[in-house]
């Protein structure tokens, strides 16, 4: 089996730290290696062509590329060797950039030694690679869109037009989101509902869209291609098929009036209501919190559509992809107590201003002082209320508020030219097509701009006064206005928390949903088959939300249009002759992919390849296609074959979080010591106790296992299983006289490179205190006074080895028995 | 909009309040001799249509209802009836047309 090894310079990224020549000559001497070369940029066309040429000319059948992280370029090299006629899975990568040269920049000699081990490990694993064929599974071509705002509507329409069936689930009784409530929108000042309304009715009438309004998603199971989603459609107490939306008949006799949430408190609605005249579906809805049950509406309805006995209905759907377009919620202005919102009637928010200017709003388009009902003569706009403000925990810019205030100011000025309007701002952020011109237009209209952050608003005798420092004249001022409009920022919708947890979406520090890559993958979530569009991933203007809605739809179409999905052949398989039907594997499987009738059987389409079953099997009857027992053992052996430094750590990193964290430490150039030899596994639960014992037997001073943070496992609870196994293993180590501190399990998210580095530093510190492997046994022997003349180190290591071997089988059988809580 | 007529009459100790719509007639029958003036209904009336009468004088022997009903405000929701511990308030609902039939007709028209 001729193996080709390619050591990449990556410009100076690797060659600047590591001695490439030394690595190349080291690799040449490794078993089975037919050729070792160094390449300037192995991922470049030239690099790939060299590899392909060698495969053809030297009849190589396995390739090792020592370069960057496999998470970056494994697909590239797999494609390259496939073109040369090799099976794509005959490739192994040694990560000597992110996890070596970038993190050990100040210790090039030790880094080169580490790189040798990493290459030796990769070659050892490569020798055991087997050709694999990717699995294809049929997928559902239906898509679930959650959230019926402008982003969700765009996604739904694009998908439906492309021929996919869409389920659009909206929490409120109508779709349209916040955009439907706005008056004219920037930068063209065209009417919001006039452009959105037709789209809303298109959604309602589209044959490919099933619309669930007043509904919520309560459960998501399955994975990409085959999500099974359950939810509930809350009772509207009105049959939407019978309701004609005339609303005056029922709401006219309804005796209960409450503030309308669609007017943000400045308008009123009845207990039976239609959110706004353009609502879709145009059907009334009874607010169960307000209704007193007098049943007048039941009698008044000419079509008898009101059904007070209606019950919530459950729904269950199967979809191939999910688009999360859950949007935002306005910042609660009363949290800025100094502005008196909620106490002073003439202090209102942007959204209330929008409703006032809306022709179908509570004031029929008039901008009036709420305290007097008179047309406002002087209006102040206060920017950055709840944005760029660490005191309320929102340090981000909400992006739309500057433009919204410019727009509202222009609209007021056009309607009432005599009105005195001042915008108080920190910075005006008008960056977008036509936005700066819009700003200039506002200045020309005679709108005043004052650079100040208002410190407080006072109310004296019913008049409001703004107190601020004008930062251009450095004067403290106190100015009277009829009305103050707070430009409130955008916050992540709290109602989406449940959904985020169901789907396992992660959040950025600003609490919006995190996308898979801040630049390159703007609408993808970390979870396969889940996409995020619109303000769910951060504040956005309408055009960008629409662009993201379309982008998410395109991604979903790309994923599902073939109707089949190619899966990595990562699954587990059972050696049926060895199986003893103990059912441990069935209990630990997070995907319920294993059935044990006669011998155990793995459903390979359902299996996601975490490998927990393989670790749990007491007789090693289960193995994995990728990351097989033999391959990992070969890596452990290669890592410990030459002990190049103390303490020598064998580290098992889960593919999703901790390996990502180690890569991130590299990308962020976080420096840490060279002691760890990292082995990538799919999940921390894959780590069979026998791997750990083998590593210690071979002379590693410590074993580190790193998984996703507890509760964030990509396989549901794999890290809990790993934790439990490690705890049992520590007991075993203690029994055989080794320090249980030699095995450590840590948690880090993919964004926590710094934490990974810190955990590693801590572990090295602890191991230095414990001493080289076998120290404990040596001390014990010293106590007993049994130490002979033979060489101590070798003796203790041998002893440790035999003891470990004897115990190894017991451990495999006893660990991972119970699934974690 | 649906026409709603209301009237009130007194029969002995019973104060009968009526609401007539084209669909139904609801009669709220308040027997003030049964009423102990606990004011639960006054507290919970969502339309604040019920009001305490001269309780002190009634306790001293005045013959008057302990609870006063505001005919204009009352919407005949029946909440007071459901909570009255002494059943001093009763409601009778007379359907002019059976609701199911009406709904069926309406549906047929569509």
Query: How much is the pLDDT for B97?
Result: 60
Query: How much is the pLDDT for B106?
Result: 44
User: How far apart are the CA of A274 and the nearest CA of chain B, in angstroms?
Assistant: 17
What mean pLDDT do residues A545-563 have? 96
Among A249, A255, A304, beta carbon nearest to B47: A255
Least confident of A233-237, A293-297, A321-325: A293-297
CB A350 within 8 A of CB A358: no
Residue A6 has pLDDT above 70, yes or no: yes
| pLDDT tens column, A584-624 | 998 888 877 888 888 888 887 678 889 999 999 999 999 99
Cβ–Cβ of A296/B21 closer than 8 Å?
yes
Chain A residues with CB under 8 Å of B102 CB are: 304
Mean pLDDT score across all residues of chain A: 91
| pLDDT tens column, A31-75 | 999 999 999 999 999 999 999 999 999 999 999 999 999 999 999
Cβ–Cβ of A296/B4 closer than 8 Å?
yes
Same topology between domain A235-310 and domain A568-610? yes
What mean pLDDT do residues A356-376 have? 92
The domain A343-492 is classified under which CATH number: 3.40.50.2300, 3.50.50.60, 3.30.70.20, 3.30.565.10?
3.50.50.60
The pLDDT-based confidence of A710 (bands split at 50, 70, 90) is confident
| pLDDT tens column, A654-700 | 998 899 999 989 998 999 999 999 999 999 999 999 999 999 999 99
Residue A371 structure tokens: 């305290």
**Distance separating alpha carbons of residues A284 and A245, to the nearest angstrom:** 6
Residue B86 has pLDDT above 90, yes or no: yes
* Interface pTM, i.e. ipTM: 0.84
End-to-end Cα, chain A, rounded Å: 46
Query: How much is the pLDDT for A152?
Result: 98
Chain B residues with CB under 8 Å of A306 CB are: none
What is the CATH number assigned to the segment(s) A568-610?
Answer: 3.30.70.20
**Distance separating alpha carbons of residues B51 and A5, to the nearest angstrom:** 93
Query: How much is the pLDDT for B105?
Result: 44
Chains A, B: CB pairs < 8 Å: 52
**Distance separating alpha carbons of residues A759 and A761, to the nearest angstrom:** 6
Query: How much is the pLDDT for A779?
Result: 86
Among A252, A256, A302, beta carbon nearest to B106: A302
Closest CA to A689 of A739, A731, A657, A638: A731
| H or E segment and range at residue B80 | helix B79-83
A674: left (phi over 0), alpha (psi -120 to 50) or beta: alpha
| H or E segment and range at residue A319 | strand A313-319
Query: How much is the pLDDT for A749?
Result: 86
Chain A residues with CB under 8 Å of B91 CB are: none
Chain B positions touching chain A (beta carbons under 8 Å) = 1-2, 4, 21-24, 46-47, 75-79, 99, 102-103, 106-107, 109-110
User: How far apart are the CA of A296 and the nearest CA of chain B, in angstroms?
Assistant: 8
**Given CA atoms A752, A754, A755, A757 in this order, what sign does their dihedral have?**
positive
Residue boundaries of the structural domains of chain A: 1-134, 136-234+312-327+494-567, 235-310, 343-492, 568-610, 611-821
What mean pLDDT do residues A337-342 have? 95
Least confident of A359-363, A429-433, A558-562: A359-363
Q: What is the DSSP string of A590-637?
A: TT--EEESSSEEE-TTT-----HHHHH-TT--EEESSS-HHHHHHHHH
User: How far apart are the CA of A291 and the nearest CA of chain B, in angstroms?
Assistant: 10
CB A271 within 8 A of CB A290: yes
Query: How much is the pLDDT for B110?
Result: 38
Cβ–Cβ of B2/A300 closer than 8 Å?
yes
CB A291 within 8 A of CB A257: no
Query: How much is the pLDDT for A603?
Result: 80
**Distance separating alpha carbons of residues B87 and A645, to the nearest angstrom:** 90
CATH 3.10.150 corresponds to the domain A1-134: no
Chain B residues with CB under 8 Å of A242 CB are: 106-107, 110
Edge-first strand listing for the sheet containing B89-95: B5-11, B14-20, B24-31, B89-95
Between vectors from CA A352 to CA A448 and to CA A383, what angle results, nearest 5°? 40
Chain B interface, best mutation among A251, A300, A306, A308, by max B CB count within 10 A? A300
Residue A728 has pLDDT above 70, yes or no: yes
The pLDDT-based confidence of A155 (bands split at 50, 70, 90) is very high
Radius of gyration of chain B measured on its C-alpha atoms: 16
Cβ–Cβ of A302/B75 closer than 8 Å?
no
Which domains are assigned to chain B?
5-109 (3.30.70.20)
**Distance separating alpha carbons of residues B21 and A372, to the nearest angstrom:** 38
Q: Helices A108-126 and A629-641: crossing angle, nearest 10°? A: 150
A304 → chain B, closest CA residue: B103
Query: How much is the pLDDT for B98?
Result: 54
Query: How much is the pLDDT for A790?
Result: 45
Residue A526 has pLDDT above 80, yes or no: no
Chain B residues with CB under 8 Å of A300 CB are: 1-2, 21
**Distance separating alpha carbons of residues A704 and A650, to the nearest angstrom:** 6
Residue A747 structure tokens: 């948690």
| pLDDT tens column, A463-497 | 999 999 999 999 999 999 999 999 999 999 999 99
Cβ–Cβ of A292/B79 closer than 8 Å?
yes
Query: How much is the pLDDT for A812?
Result: 45
Cβ–Cβ of A242/B110 closer than 8 Å?
yes
Closest CA to A651 of A629, A625, A680: A680
Chain A residues with CB under 8 Å of B109 CB are: 303
A452 in B contact zone (CB under 8 Å): no
What is the CATH number assigned to the segment(s) A235-310?
Answer: 3.30.70.20
Residue A796 has pLDDT above 80, yes or no: no
What mean pLDDT do residues A284-291 have? 94
What mean pLDDT do residues A307-311 have? 93
Between vectors from CA A167 to CA A165 and to CA A170, what angle results, nearest 5°? 155
What mean pLDDT do residues A148-174 have? 97
User: How far apart are the CA of B75 and the nearest CA of chain A, in angstroms?
Assistant: 6
Chain B interface, best mutation among A303, A305, A308, A309, by max B CB count within 10 A? A303
Chain A residues with CB under 8 Å of B94 CB are: none
Residue A808 has pLDDT above 80, yes or no: no
Residue A264 structure tokens: 């943000």
Residue A801 has pLDDT above 60, yes or no: no
Strand partners, B95: B24
What mean pLDDT do residues B27-50 have? 94
Residue A135 has pLDDT above 80, yes or no: no
A253 in B contact zone (CB under 8 Å): yes
Chain A residues 291-310 with a CB less than 8 Å from chain B: 292-296, 298-300, 302-304
What mean pLDDT do residues A181-198 have? 94
Locate all alpha helices (DSSP H) within A347-503, ordered by sequence: 350-357, 401-415, 435-444, 497-503
The CATH-assigned architecture of domain A136-234+312-327+494-567 is: 3-Layer(bba) Sandwich (3.50)
Chain A interface, best mutation among B20, B45, B70, B75, by max A CB count within 10 A? B75
């Amino acid at each position: 089996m001729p193996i080709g090894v390619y050591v990449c310079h990556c410009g100076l990224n690797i060659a600047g730290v590591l001695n490439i020549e030394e690595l190349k000559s080291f690799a040449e001497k490794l078993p089975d290696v037919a050729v070792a070369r160094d390449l300037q940029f192995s991922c470049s066309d030239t690099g790939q062509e060299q590899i392909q040429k060698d495969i053809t000319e030297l009849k190589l059948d396995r390739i090792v590329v020592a370069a960057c992280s496999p998470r970056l370029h494994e697909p590239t090299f797999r494609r390259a060797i496939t073109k040369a006629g090799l099976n794509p899975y005959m490739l192994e990568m040694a990560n000597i950039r992110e996890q070596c040269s970038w993190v050990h920049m100040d210790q090039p000699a030790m880094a080169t030694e580490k790189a040798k081990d990493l290459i030796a490990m990769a070659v050892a694993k490569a020798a055991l690679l087997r050709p694999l064929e990717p699995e294809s599974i049929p997928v559902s071509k239906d898509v679930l869109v959650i959230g019926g705002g402008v982003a969700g509507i765009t996604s739904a329409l694009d998908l439906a037009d492309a021929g996919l069936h869409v389920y659009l689930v909206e929490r409120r009784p109508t779709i349209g989101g916040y955009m439907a409530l706005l008056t004219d929108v920037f930068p063209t000042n065209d009417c919001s509902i006039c452009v959105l309304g037709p789209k809303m009715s298109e959604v309602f009438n589209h044959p490919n869209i099933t619309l669930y309004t007043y509904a919520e998603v309560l459960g998501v199971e399955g994975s990409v291609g085959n999500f099974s989603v359950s939810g509930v459609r809350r009772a509207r107490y009105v049959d939407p098929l019978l309701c004609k939306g005339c609303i005056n008949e029922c709401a006219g006799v309804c005796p209960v009036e409450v503030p309308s949430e669609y007017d943000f408190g400045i308008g009123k609605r009845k207990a039976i209501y239609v959110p706004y005249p353009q609502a879709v579906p145009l059907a009334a809805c009874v607010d169960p919190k307000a209704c007193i049950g007098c049943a007048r509406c039941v009698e008044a309805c000419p079509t008898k559509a009101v059904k007070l006995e209606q019950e919530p209905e459950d729904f269950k759907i199967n979809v191939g992809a999910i688009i999360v377009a859950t949007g935002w919620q306005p910042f609660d202005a009363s949290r800025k107590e100094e502005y008196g919102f909620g106490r002073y009637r003439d202090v209102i928010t942007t959204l209330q201003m929008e409703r006032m200017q809306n022709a179908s709003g509570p004031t029929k388009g008039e901008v009036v002082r709420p305290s007097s009902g008179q047309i406002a003569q002087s209006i102040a706009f206060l920017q950055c209320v709840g944005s760029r403000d660490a005191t309320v925990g929102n340090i981000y810019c909400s992006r739309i508020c500057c433009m919204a205030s410019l727009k509202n100011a222009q609209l007021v000025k056009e309607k009432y030219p005599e009105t005195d309007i001042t915008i108080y701002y920190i910075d005006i952020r008008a960056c977008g097509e036509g936005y700066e011109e819009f700003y200039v237009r506002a200045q020309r209209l005679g709108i005043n701009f004052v650079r100040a952050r208002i410190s407080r608003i006072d109310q004296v005798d019913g008049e409001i006064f703004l107190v601020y420092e004008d930062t251009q004249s450095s004067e403290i001022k106190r100015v009277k206005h009829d009305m103050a409009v707070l430009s409130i920022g955008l916050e992540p919708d709290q109602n989406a928390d449940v959904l985020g947890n169901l789907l396992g979406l992660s959040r950025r520090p600003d609490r919006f949903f995190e996308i898979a890559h801040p630049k390159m993958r703007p609408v993808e979530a970390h979870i396969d088959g889940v996409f995020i569009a619109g303000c769910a991933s951060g504040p956005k203007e309408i055009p960008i939300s629409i662009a993201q809605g379309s982008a998410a739809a395109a991604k979903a179409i790309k994923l599902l249009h073939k109707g089949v999905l190619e899966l990595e052949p990562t699954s587990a398989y059972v050696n049926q002759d060895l199986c003893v039907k103990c059912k441990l594997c069935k209990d630990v499987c997070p995907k319920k992919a294993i059935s044990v009738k006669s011998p155990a059987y793995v459903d390979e389409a359902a299996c996601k390849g975490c490998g927990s079953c393989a670790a749990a099997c007491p007789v090693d009857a289960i193995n994995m296609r990728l990351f097989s027992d033999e391959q990992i053992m070969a890596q452990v052996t290669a890592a410990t074959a030459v002990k190049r430094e103390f303490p020598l750590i064998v580290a098992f990193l889960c593919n999703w979080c901790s390996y990502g964290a180690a890569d991130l430490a590299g990308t962020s150039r976080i420096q840490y010591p060279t002691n760890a030899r990292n082995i990538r596994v799919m999940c921390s639960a894959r780590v069979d106790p026998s791997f750990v014992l083998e590593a210690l037997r071979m002379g590693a001073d410590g074993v580190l296992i790193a998984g996703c943070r507890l509760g964030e496992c990509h396989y549901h609870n794999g890290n809990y299983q790993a934790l439990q196994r490690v705890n049992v293993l520590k007991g075993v180590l203690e029994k055989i006289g080794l320090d249980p501190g030699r095995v450590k399990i840590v948690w880090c998210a993919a964004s926590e490179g710094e934490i990974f580095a810190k955990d590693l530093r801590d572990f090295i510190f602890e191991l230095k205190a414990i001493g080289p492997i076998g120290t404990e046994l040596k001390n014990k022997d010293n106590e007993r006074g049994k130490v002979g003349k033979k060489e101590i180190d070798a003796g203790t290591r041998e002893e440790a080895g035999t003891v470990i071997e004897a115990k190894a089988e017991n451990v495999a059988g006893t660990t991972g028995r119970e699934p974690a809580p | 909009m649906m026409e709603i007529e209301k009237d009130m009459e007194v029969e002995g100790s019973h104060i009968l309040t009526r609401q007539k719509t084209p669909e139904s007639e609801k009669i709220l029958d308040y027997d003030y001799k049964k009423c102990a003036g606990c004011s639960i209904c006054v507290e919970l009336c969502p339309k604040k249509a019920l009001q305490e009468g001269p309780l002190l004088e009634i306790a001293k022997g005045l013959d008057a209802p302990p609870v006063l009903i505001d005919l204009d405000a009352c919407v005949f929701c029946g909440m007071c009836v459901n909570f009255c511990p002494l059943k001093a308030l009763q409601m009778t609902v007379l359907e002019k047309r059976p609701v199911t039939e009406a709904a069926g007709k309406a549906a047929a028209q569509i």
